[in-house]
Amino acid sequence: MSVTVETNPCGSGRPESVFISWLLWQPRGADLAVEALKEVQKLAPFQERDPEIVRLRSLFATLAGQTGKPH
């Protein structure tokens, strides 16, 4: 028997993958800009800790209409 340690247990964990998963789980008719703004606010306290969180927050901010194109 061997034990495998998953270094990234939540799938790819890439900001784009997380963002797409979030989009797919939104209910039909949801105001995506409003919901994305909620995610921007949730991620705000963590933005200084990890560049991937910064990227994810940027994706949500773009959808919310707070920024231009994501970098």
Q: What is the pLDDT along the chain (71 residues), one digit of tens a residue?
A: 554 444 554 546 799 999 999 999 999 999 999 999 999 999 999 878 889 999 999 999 999 998 755 44
The pLDDT of residue 5 is 42
- Nearest partner of 56 among 32, 40, 37, 69, judged by Cα: 40
The pLDDT of residue 68 is 55
